[in-house]
Amino acid sequence: MRWPLSLIVGLALSGVFAAAALVSFVWTPWPVEGISVASRLQTPSLSHWLGTDHLGRDILSMIMVGARTSIAVAVVAVGVGMVLGVPLGLLAAAVRGSWLDDLVMRGNDLIFAFPSLVIAILITAVFGPSAVNAILAIGIFNTPVFARVTRGAALSLWTLDYVRAARVAGKGRARISAEHVLPNIANLLIVQGTIQFSLGILAEAALSYVGLGAQPPLPSWGRMLADSQTMISFAPHLAVFPGLAIVLTVLGLNLMGDGLRDLLDPRLRRAR
Amino acid sequence: MARFIASRLVSLILSLVVASVAIFVVIELVPGDPAGFMLGLNATPEAIAALRAEMGLTDGPLARYLTWTGGMLTGDFGTSYTYKVPVADLVAARLWVSLPLTAYALALSTLIAVPVGLLAASRRGRPADFAVMGATQLGIAVPNFWFAMLLVLVFAITWRVFPSGGFPGWEDGLWPGLRALTLPAVALALPQASILARVMRSALIETLGQDYIRTARAKGLSQGQSVRRHALRNALIPVMTILGLQFSFLLAGAIIIENVFFLPGLGRLIFQGITQRDLIVVESVVMLLVFAVILVTFLVDVAYALVDPRLRRA
């Protein structure tokens, strides 16, 4: 089947940033901690493609290393959400209608009703600002999303004949969930994972912008933006490029999510 | 309907209880103890002991939880350690910035999103639709605090039409205050308007596929007439739900945006509380924000059921 255009564009965009993050482990155009007062606040040029900041550090190099932080935080936060949320959703669907199902879903609604950024701010404020605490704070709010998606999709699978056949064959609920339900909702989870990934990048950027995410010397896009704010009137390029990095990564992931959904679920595409 | 509201009320109260316990526990888990955390590393043991007594930390956790929540119920939010004034007074003063900002942003978002969504749905598959879908895709990807910085660069630094930050207060009249809130509100509204426009578009497209629209067209109504008289009203139901949800996003977003523009709202109060280690302020203001969000969710549920009787059974 032909790949949707959004998937190709999305993959290309997110691929560029993933590659930049990987390459930054072995090579950056300039050393990231290379402070050089002589070359401070330069506008983009051939030697510094995206210019330099107030300490003379190369913006492109910092964006490349910052991609690592953003991607790592968002990936682990999605992982946390999946590891907690998917089993909860499977459990709720397997025991649908029981008090356990009710408990899981009410708990979900509750976390869902919280203003997540406020709580993330509370968590990082109390336990100290760090990348790990940012991951936890973002990951907790991913959990109900995955639980809900998993339960919804699993419920419809439980009514299908082959699941009934497995029950008749004597398989338990846990085994059916793992062997028959989970593989069939994997597509959906991948699509949701992509969306949560992009939301995670935005959340990480917001947290580190207010100083509650990754701490120096670890470069991060959000903090680059915070640092640039006081200099925006005379060095706008400092604010423009890290912001563009966030926008393009998030845009790429969103397009990828849309494209994957179209590719994996052709019915949805016709309906739209 | 009464039963529906009662059941929603029960879950509202349950949510509030669980939320307050969660916030209380997080604050309890502060490394060391809150008094030591607030005073920092150089505090003398006597100062810490005095603050412990002042904060009532010598009581057990249950007693403290009950004092805190009981106080909040009667409007007593505790006394700020740094400002030495009741937290309730601080909150009341800041609400005059945060609430108008949220309302302004919500109004802007709706005013942009509804016509744009309507346009995209009625021109489905044509260039106008693609333009809207592309623009909203971009709008969703833009972090609001970065958009805020760009707005400052263009409208406050280059063109000098709006102030780059700060808030003059409402005493000088409506206009200076509104002017100060305009850029923050636009920054907050843009990503929300993108989401809302997409919801509006898909809701309207779905409604336009319904049989009663076909009947309306068959009776001789034009496309525009059937949209105005029949489809719009039904499509607004999902839009309403999203608006309620967006209140919580706007409130959280306002925390960040207030920091970009140095607006003396609740968001800045939380951050000042955090940097000054004033846990009493942080705890109470966070609880207040959570309360506002849970309350709006409740009101949306009820409003939804008023509009659509099928949902009352849920």
The model's pLDDT over A203-221, given as tens digits with 9 standing for 90+, comes to: 999 988 988 888 877 888 9
Q: Of A18, A42, A16, nearest to A30 (Cα)?
A: A42
pLDDT of B215 above 70 = yes
Least confident of B28-37, B76-85, B231-240, B249-258: B28-37
Size of interface A-B (CB pairs under 8 A): 110
Helix/strand/coil percent split, chain A, to 5: 75, 0, 25
Residues B173-192: what's their mean pLDDT?
A: 91
Least confident of A173-182, A247-256, B268-277: B268-277
Least confident of A68-72, B75-79, B158-162, B257-261: B75-79
Are B290 and A198 within 8 A, CB to CB? no
- Sort out which chain B residues have CB atoms less than 8 A from A237's CB and list them: none
- Sort out which chain A residues have CB atoms less than 8 A from B32's CB and list them: none
User: What confidence score (pLDDT) does residue A268 get?
Assistant: 54
- The 10s digit of each residue's pLDDT in A4-30 is 888 999 999 999 999 998 988 888 887
Q: Which residues of A touch B (CB under 8 A)?
A: 106, 109-110, 113-119, 121-123, 125-128, 198, 202, 205-206, 209-210, 225, 228-229, 232-233, 236, 239-240, 243, 246-248, 250-251, 254-255, 272
pLDDT of B147 above 90 = yes
Domain tally, chain A:
1
Give how far Cα A160 sits from Cα of A154, A184, A243, Å.
10, 12, 47
User: What confidence score (pLDDT) does residue B32 get?
Assistant: 64
Domain of A173 in residue numbering reads as 5-24+51-271
Are A125 and B274 within 8 A, CB to CB? yes
- Nearest chain A residue to B136 by CA distance is A251
pLDDT of A33 above 80 = no
Shortest Cα–Cα distance, A32 to chain B (Å): 23
Residues A34-56: what's their mean pLDDT?
A: 76
Residue B72: pLDDT band (50, 70, 90) is confident
- Residue range(s) in chain B whose domain bears CATH number 1.10.3720.10: 96-313
Q: Who wins on pLDDT, B241 or A241?
A: A241
Residues A99-109: what's their mean pLDDT?
A: 85
Residue A40 belongs to some domain of the structure: no
Are A126 and B27 within 8 A, CB to CB? yes
Residue B313: pLDDT band (50, 70, 90) is low
| Whether B298 contacts B12, CB under 8 Å | yes
Residues B285-313: what's their mean pLDDT?
A: 80
Residue A1: pLDDT band (50, 70, 90) is low
- Sort out which chain B residues have CB atoms less than 8 A from A233's CB and list them: 153, 157
User: What confidence score (pLDDT) does residue B222 get?
Assistant: 84
Helices (H), B209-277: 211-218, 223-226, 232-260, 266-275
Shortest Cα–Cα distance, A46 to chain B (Å): 25
d(CA A185, CA A178): 11
Q: Of A10, A104, A23, A41, nearest to A230 (Cα)?
A: A41
Which residue in B15, B18, B146 is closest to A243 by CB distance? B146
- The 10s digit of each residue's pLDDT in A118-168 is 777 788 777 878 888 888 888 888 899 999 899 988 988 888 888 888 888
- Nearest chain B residue to A271 by CA distance is B206
* Reported ipTM: 0.87
Q: Who wins on pLDDT, B52 or A104?
A: A104
d(CA A165, CA A160): 9
User: What confidence score (pLDDT) does residue A271 get?
Assistant: 43
User: What confidence score (pLDDT) does residue A78 get?
Assistant: 94
Shortest Cα–Cα distance, A216 to chain B (Å): 17
Residue A270: pLDDT band (50, 70, 90) is very low
Fold category of B96-313 in CATH: MetI-like fold (1.10.3720)
Shortest Cα–Cα distance, A242 to chain B (Å): 9
User: What confidence score (pLDDT) does residue A87 get?
Assistant: 94
User: What confidence score (pLDDT) does residue A272 get?
Assistant: 42
| Whether B132 contacts B116, CB under 8 Å | yes
Share of chain B above pLDDT 70, in %: 97
Shortest Cα–Cα distance, B265 to chain A (Å): 14
Residues A235-252: what's their mean pLDDT?
A: 91
Q: Of A222, A212, A217, nearest to A124 (Cα)?
A: A212
- Sort out which chain B residues have CB atoms less than 8 A from A4's CB and list them: none
- Nearest chain B residue to A127 by CA distance is B30
Mean residue pLDDT across chain B: 85
Angle made by CA atoms B2, B3, B9, in degrees to the nearest 5: 90
Are A210 and B271 within 8 A, CB to CB? yes
Residue A42 belongs to some domain of the structure: no
Domain of A133: which CATH number? 1.10.3720.10
Least confident of A198-202, A259-263, B54-58: B54-58
Shortest Cα–Cα distance, A124 to chain B (Å): 10
User: What confidence score (pLDDT) does residue B289 get?
Assistant: 85
d(CA B76, CA A55): 48
pLDDT of B304 above 80 = no
